[in-house]
């Protein structure tokens, strides 16, 4: 790249492109503006055939063609090429260039070998893929983008037209050079990501890359879990994970970890479709709770706080928990494993397993039950990234810490309210941490150290509040004597029992026909449906419920609905035009309303 003798100041462009779209138009515009063209291989040939003057990029007296063009691999990698690109408008740089007879490069036009397209081919070989890894092009782009204060870099053929218009006017403004440089860096970053992804799939150990059965749906293949960190923070001890399994597990684990950190007790969550169906801490179960949660026949239950936490998490909404992914904050003991072994569940994530517990869990689903062991000490990166419709979104991880003694101190009404009782602080903490990992909009009702009703993913907040309230009512109706003493057919499976109880307690017992027959054949003694008067009388006994919302309540209807399901404490952010009306309504109903300072949307 020796300096060309000329009385006229001549700018230089290096062109090396795989995608030759608009190349002739670009060459014509550059030559028109007295720009000297240096190009590589096929790029040079196409420009020459179009009738425009062009020289080989290796036309440098200090770099023979044998070095620059050897098998086409190193043609643009000579130091003289990059000295011309990287040189700044400094006296020291000018002196070095003059001594080496090297001219500055003003424009670099480059795009890369089609690596992505190559590796997407069926049965592509490693040799074929490796040959499509661009070295010189990436280096040209990075050099020019780094020195964009002086050198203009073009990586997108769609930019040629606007660039030439600017050149016709005299120069490329700094702001435009910056935009082109950003695009070049993004181009090389995307390219490098594609290369590393290909080799990760080929060479990475299962600590960095785990193939999945398929994506969200069976037709969405291939699918994988991978990380840019040194290793994936969990091990697969049994079974094969699916995409949805991991979405559930990796949302459920931080929920129980935060519950344990906040309240100091073993915690459990039952997750379905990226939202909790239940979450709880391990506090003792009374006789009625054991019966309602179908764990009254478990030996040694009272000796395991973890087992009691899972009984609560699973038992609050057994219908939704069917086929769940379980998260447990502590090492799984034998008692907890025995409970899980008889439930319909897809997988579990926990920091460890007793040997006997792992043996039991590994036999579920014919040996296919998913068992994940999470690294308890793992802390995820501060930034989260996801891709939606080809667009990459980034955000800071939601690291807001919820603590019973710190998060719920701003009591808005009643004005003279004393500090909240420990039970309310506990239940508001459980409800609020659960919301942090629940698809928005969401509202959670909690009591006795567990979620008892959760409304998730509703577009309208009142629908969240109603859904959570209806589930809470259903939960409470299961404690009615009639529900506690149902006479089921011998041998009836647990899911059929749960479904029958749900119909009875929801007030949805079929009136007649085949559906009524299906209901009745589950019982030795068919129960009478609850009358409206019986339901209302029993629900009036429901009290002391803690309610949390992931965002403000826009209307008073939410407060009235929560009150009907025994709400005594409500925590929510403020910010609605109706805040004062909401607070007045809460006060008139005898509800303590706590302002929770942070919105907790989750998507």
β-pair partners for 36 = 12
Q: Are 599 and 573 in contact (CB under 8 A)?
A: yes
What is the per-residue pLDDT for 59?
Answer: 54
Does the active-site annotation cover 540? no
Of 20, 146, 201, 365, the catalytic one is 146
What is the per-residue pLDDT for 69?
Answer: 42
Rounded to whole angstroms, what are the CA distances from 109 to 57, 152, 165, 570?
Answer: 12, 8, 16, 61
Question: Percent helix, strand and coil across the chain, each rounded to 5?
Answer: 40, 20, 40
What is the per-residue pLDDT for 66?
Answer: 32
| Contact residues for 579 (Cβ-Cβ < 8 A; gap 6+) | 552
Of 273, 365, 403, 463, the catalytic one is 273
Answer left, alpha or beta for residue 264, where phi above 0 means left and psi between -120 and 50 means alpha.
Answer: left
Q: Are 179 and 156 in contact (CB under 8 A)?
A: no
What is the per-residue pLDDT for 5?
Answer: 41
Question: Can you tell me whether residue 284 is helix, strand or coil?
Answer: coil
pLDDT digits (tens, 9 = 90+) for 363-395: 999 999 999 999 999 999 999 998 899 898 999
For the chain, which residues score pLDDT lower than 70?
1-9, 58-75, 204-207, 230
What is the per-residue pLDDT for 120?
Answer: 80
Strands, E assignment, 220-291: 223-226, 234-238, 267-272, 275-281
Does the active-site annotation cover 480? no
What is the per-residue pLDDT for 126?
Answer: 87
State how far the Cα of 558 lies from the Cα of 410, in Å rounded to an integer.
Answer: 20
State how far the Cα of 326 lies from the Cα of 328, in Å rounded to an integer.
Answer: 7
- DSSP secondary structure of 111-169: E---HHHHHTSTT--HHHHHHT--SHHHHHHHHHHHTTTT-EEE--GGGHHHHHHHHHH
Question: Can you tell me whether residue 283 is helix, strand or coil?
Answer: coil
State how far the Cα of 17 lies from the Cα of 43, in Å rounded to an integer.
Answer: 6
Gyration radius from the chain CA atoms: 33
What is the per-residue pLDDT for 196?
Answer: 85
């Amino acid at each position: 790249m020796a300096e060309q003798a000329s009385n006229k100041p001549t700018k230089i462009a290096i062109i090396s492109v795989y995608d030759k779209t608009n190349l002739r138009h670009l060459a014509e515009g550059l030559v028109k503006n007295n720009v000297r063209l240096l190009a590589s291989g096929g790029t040079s040939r196409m420009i020459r055939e179009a009738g425009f003057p062009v020289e080989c990029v290796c036309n440098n007296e200090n770099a023979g063609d044998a070095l620059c063009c050897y098998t086409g691999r190193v043609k643009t990698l000579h130091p003289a090429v990059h000295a011309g690109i990287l040189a700044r408008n400094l006296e020291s740089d000018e002196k070095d260039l003059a001594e080496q007879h090297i001219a500055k490069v003003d424009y670099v036009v480059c795009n890369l070998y089609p690596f992505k397209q190559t590796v997407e081919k069926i049965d592509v070989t490693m040799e074929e893929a490796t040959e499509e890894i661009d070295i010189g092009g990436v280096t040209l782009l990075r050099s020019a983008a780094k020195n964009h204060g002086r050198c203009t870099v073009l990586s997108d053929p769609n930019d040629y037209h606007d660039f030439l218009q600017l050149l016709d006017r005299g120069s490329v403004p700094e702001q435009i050079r910056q935009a082109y440089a950003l695009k070049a860096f993004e181009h090389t970053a995307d390219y490098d990501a594609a290369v590393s992804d290909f080799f990760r799939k080929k060479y990475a150990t299962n600590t960095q890359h785990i193939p999945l059965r398929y994506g969200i749906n069976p037709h969405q293949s291939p699918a994988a879990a991978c990380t840019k960190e040194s290793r994936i923070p969990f091990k697969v001890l049994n079974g094969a994970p699916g995409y949805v399994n991991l979405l559930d597990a990796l949302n459920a684990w931080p929920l129980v970890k935060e519950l344990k950190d906040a309240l100091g007790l073993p915690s459990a969550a039952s997750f379905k479709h990226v939202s909790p169906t239940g979450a709880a801490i391990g506090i003792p179960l009374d006789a009625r709770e054991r019966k309602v949660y179908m764990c009254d026949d478990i030996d040694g239950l009272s000796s395991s706080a973890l087992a009691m936490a899972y009984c609560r998490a699973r038992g609050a909404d057994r219908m939704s928990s069917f086929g769940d992914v379980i998260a447990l904050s502590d090492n799984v003991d034998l008692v907890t494993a025995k409970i899980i072994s008889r439930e319909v569940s897809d997988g579990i994530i926990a920091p460890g397993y007793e040997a006997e517990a792992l043996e039991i869990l590994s036999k579920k689903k014919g040996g296919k039950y998913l068992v994940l062991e999470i690294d308890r000490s793992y802390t995820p990166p501060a930034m989260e990234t996801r891709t939606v419709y080809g667009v990459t979104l980034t955000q800071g991880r939601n690291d807001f810490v919820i603590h019973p003694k710190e998060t719920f101190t701003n009591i808005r009404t009643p004005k003279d309210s004393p500090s909240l009782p420990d039970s309310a602080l506990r239940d508001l903490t459980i409800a609020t941490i659960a919301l942090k990992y629940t698809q928005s909009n969401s509202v959670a009702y909690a009591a006795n150290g567990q979620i008892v009703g959760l409304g998730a993913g509703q577009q309208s907040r009142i629908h969240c509040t109603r859904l959570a309230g209806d589930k809470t009512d259903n939960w409470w109706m299961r404690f009615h004597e009639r529900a506690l003493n149902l006479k089921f057919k011998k041998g009836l499976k647990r899911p059929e029992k749960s479904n029958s109880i749900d119909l009875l307690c929801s007030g949805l017992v079929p009136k007649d026909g085949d559906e009524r027959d299906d209901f009745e054949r589950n019982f030795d003694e068919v129960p009478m449906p609850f009358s409206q008067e019986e339901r209302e009388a029993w629900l009036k006994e429901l009290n002391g419920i803690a309610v949390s919302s992931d965002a403000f309540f826009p209307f008073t209807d939410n407060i009235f609905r929560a009150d009907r399901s025994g709400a005594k404490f409500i925590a929510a952010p403020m910010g609605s035009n109706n805040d004062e009306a909401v607070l007045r309504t809460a006060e008139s109903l005898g509800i303590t309303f706590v302002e929770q300072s942070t919105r907790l949307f989750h998507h």
